[in-house]
Amino acid sequence: MTPHPSAWHDPPRIVPFDPLTTTARITAPLGGHAFHAELPNGKHVVAHLPDLLAHLADELPPDSIVEVEITPFDIDHARIISKMKRPG
């Protein structure tokens, strides 16, 4: 018995996109591990800390600069990946 013609083709694949990495300024805490943040272009996003960086929640007052990742699939949310050191 030969397979059905639809079995001859690979299923469509979702092309993975690398996240965009940029800096952001914390504007206000939202509670828990989430913050309002502003990107360099002026766009406002909700930035959250992953569990591994949860200890940084108390170290991020407003105007803190952080490095974030944003996926092209959801540009309104960002993941905080590190706290940037202030110059000086």
CB 86 within 8 A of CB 64: no
Domain annotation covers residue 51: yes
| Percent residues over pLDDT 90 in the chain | 58
pLDDT at residue 11 greater than cutoff 70: no
> How much is the pTM?
0.77
pLDDT tens figures, 62-82: 999 999 999 988 899 999 999
Domain annotation covers residue 2: no
Domain annotation covers residue 24: yes
pLDDT at residue 9 greater than cutoff 80: no
- Residue 51's domain comprises 17-83
Domain annotation covers residue 12: no
The CATH number of whichever domain residue 41 belongs to comes to 2.40.50.140
Least confident of 11-20, 31-40, 44-53: 11-20
How many domains is the chain built from? 1
Domain annotation covers residue 29: yes
